[in-house]
Amino acid sequence: MANVLITGGAGFLGSHLCDRFIAEGDNVICLDNLITGSLDNIAHLFGHPRFQFIQMDVTTFIYVPQDIHYVLHFASPASPIDYLQLPIQTLKVGSLGTHKALGLAKAKNARFLIASTSEVYGDPLIHPQLEEYWGNVNPIGYRGVYDEAKRFAEALTMAYHRYHNVDTRIIRIFNTYGPRMRLNDGRAIPAFISQALTNEPLTVFGNGSQTRSVCYVDDEIEGIYRLLMSNINDPINIGNPDEISIYDLAKEIIKLTGSKSEIINAALPEDDPKVRQPNIDKARKYLGWEPKISREEGLIKTINFYKNKINNK
């Protein structure tokens, strides 16, 4: 039985991680300031003897009296609509928050995992993206607040690993979807499903030729867990290499929901990546991991989740 601290634990991925460690028999301490996370995501865990929630801004301090064995730093706005509205908070949680979380791991002699992102690759000039690629990021663009926060977080993590001997892991998460994503969080899949279920037009930015590779949350959580339990200190891509254009993704969701919605186009946001696809050779080799859930299966599970949410409003 381990004591696991998860920052951003009331968020989309964080809450699923809380579930995973509870299922593994561990004690979970969930920290979140709730600016993008939600108590709804962890409400089913309240009252559980091995779960503790603390509302805390991890950019100011992190204090817990218990011994800690694992620190997973998942606190951060993660969707464009969030980090464009919260640019300073995004930069602070990637820098100051990462510093505080690493300091806790150092003090507790705990293993540390940072949730990085495929956005460190920016608008990539190589395709698919492999871990050795340094990226093509506009540091002063609107998306730079997220991209550079995560790039700095990776650099700080490696500094603590090299100079303080903290046992660290870096996961580069590619587009992930599933239950508990907010309907209005601005990312393509919840936006498309929300629009399709209400027969509103699906809004595709640009001509929809830009691609994404989407991974169902259960697969992503398994990859995160395996990386944490591995001995790999260098960054590892965890995502589904099954690439699809945004336009085709919109059509697929219309079909799976049986919606009468049409597709409309809107202006492409600044620095929106044209392609996104992970090379997961390292995950396969070192973690024995690859996604198992097909996009259709994952989308059906996600659509059913949102149907229930909309019907129970």
Asked whether the domain spanning 178-212+242-277+293-311 has the same topology as the one spanning 3-176+216-238, the reply is: no
Query: Which of 130-134, 201-205, 271-275, 298-302 is least confident?
Result: 271-275
Instruction: Record the pTM.
Output: 0.95
Residue 61 pLDDT > 80: yes
Per-residue confidence band for 313, with pLDDT thresholds at 50, 70 and 90: low
Q: What is the CATH number of domain 3-176+216-238?
A: 3.40.50.720
In the chain, what are the domain boundaries? 3-176+216-238, 178-212+242-277+293-311
Topology at the third CATH level for domain 178-212+242-277+293-311: UDP-galactose 4-epimerase; domain 1 (3.90.25)
Per residue in 165-176, pLDDT (tens digit) is 999 999 999 999
Among candidate residues 117, 173, 174, 112, the one with its CA nearest the CA of residue 145: 117
- Strand 70-73: give its sheet, edge to edge: 51-55, 27-32, 3-7, 70-73, 111-117, 168-173, 236-238
Per residue in 214-238, pLDDT (tens digit) is 999 999 999 999 999 999 999 999 9
**Active-site annotation holds for 177:** no
Query: Which of 15-24, 85-94, 178-187, 229-238 is least confident?
Result: 178-187
Residue 312 pLDDT > 80: no
- Percentage of residues in the chain having pLDDT higher than 90: 90
- Catalytic member of 70, 83, 121, 146: 146
Tell me which H or E stretch contains 211: strand 211-213
Work out the end-to-end distance of the chain between its first and last CA atoms, rounded to an integer number of angstroms.
38
Work out the average pLDDT over 263-271: 85
Per-residue confidence band for 309, with pLDDT thresholds at 50, 70 and 90: confident
Quickly tell me which residue has 């495929």 as its tokens.
118
Number of H helices, E strands in the chain: 10, 13
Pairing label, strands 202-205, 263-266: parallel
